[in-house]
Amino acid sequence: MQYILTAPSALNTTITLPSSKSISNRALIIHALSKGDLMPDNLSVCDDTEVIVNALMCNPDVIDIKAAGTAMRFMTAYLSVTPGEHVITGTERMKKRPIAVLVDALRYIGANIEYVGEEGFPPLRIKGHPLAGGYMEVPANISSQYISALLMIGPVLKNGLELKMKGDIASRPYIDLTLWMMREFGADADWSDVDTVKVNPKPYQQHKYLIENDWSASSYWYEMMALMGDQESTVALRGLFDASKQGDSIVKYIFSLLGVKTRFVEEEEGAAPVVKLKNMPCLLPRLDYDFVAAPDLAQTVVVACAVKNIPFRFTGLASLKIKETDRIEALKHELRKLGYVLRDENNDTLIWDGTMCEPTFEPIDTYEDHRMAMAFAPAAIKFPRLRINNPQVVTKSYPQYWDDLEKAGWKIEKVK
């Protein structure tokens, strides 16, 4: 399947964003560990959340989490402390995404985990049983999801968990989100030092829980506004909170540098707030930014800056190489199709200094990566009839993305 995209001349729309995948997935694991029967409200309906729901409800011997990296990490820790034997597997790409850091940590506290295939990678055979917990040290510069997976099982460990993170901590806001949600469910967990979290063996308590809408999904609408660049366009996004614990809420600051102004308004008493986006002049000559705390925003900002002809140097991107695809290489390859020549350094830095080449305008490949499709689609504002291959990948986090674009006036031609 291929989509051919034509952007409207201006934006004037109101969008209800999907529920937060990050919060939904954490809420499901914590809910299961609490042994409660009150499912969280407003759960995400994306693929990544659906595989966790199915695994928890059906409890099959073989759990296929497909392409959901969060599910692989969270479910590995959950199954380690839950009685029963399971094999957890996924797509061919998932079988190439490293998980040794998490497996080694769980084995250190007594987990029974075996590699079914290649050492260090899924699939895994897990025989769950109660674990003692205690003190451990883990590298923290690869993925915060390893840290969050360990922290969430901390309250059910006999001795709790004291987790020291070695090296630069990747995506710290996501760890803070995990701790905040754990405390929402009654856990006793917090930072005891700048690099250490202590979780006491205090059980979770079930209660009703409402999932926020997704700040990560808002980034594509910020990108569209930035690329429109006109003073008439407006976008209203429902269900986003100014004081959100979601790390990607930093998007409102990043795009303020690119000329998009954010305003929070209450439409009626008791209703969820509405974020209204308007454009203002953007005089930024170049942008340097460290994405270590918000790597999922990198693709969106990379494409936005290139298409706006704003040179950049973005660091803190090491985790992009182990995502759904090697996102650094994917961005370099696909932006070259539009005429932008990027280079990378040290496996964690992406640079565009204004170098251009002859564009080919070949279809944009998505690499089974939802964020590639959603980050490149707004480029059709500058490149009419931009073609996107395998656009259905958006179901991983934002299933109604294309419907929302059509609602906002985009023309989408579907070619099989």
Domain extent listing, the chain? 2-18+213-415, 21-199
| 288 part of the active site | no
- What integer pLDDT is reported at residue 118 of this predicted model? 96
For domain 21-199, the CATH superfamily is Enolpyruvate transferase domain (3.65.10.10)
Q: How far, in Å, CA of 225 to CA of 98, rounded?
A: 36
Residue 173 and residue 154: Cα distance in Å, rounded? Answer: 19
**pLDDT for position 271:** 64
Ramachandran region, residue 409 (left: φ > 0; alpha: ψ -120 to 50; beta: rest): left
Contact 298, 327 (CB under 8 A): yes
Q: Which residues of the chain have pLDDT under 70?
A: 267-271
Residues in the chain: 416
Catalytic residue among 296, 348, 369, 404: 296
Q: What angle do CA 207, 399, 328 make, to 5 degrees?
A: 105
Q: Is 2-18+213-415 assigned to CATH 3.40.50.2300?
A: no
CA distances from 40 to 43, 100, 143 (A): 6, 31, 25
Q: What's the pLDDT score for residue 142?
A: 77
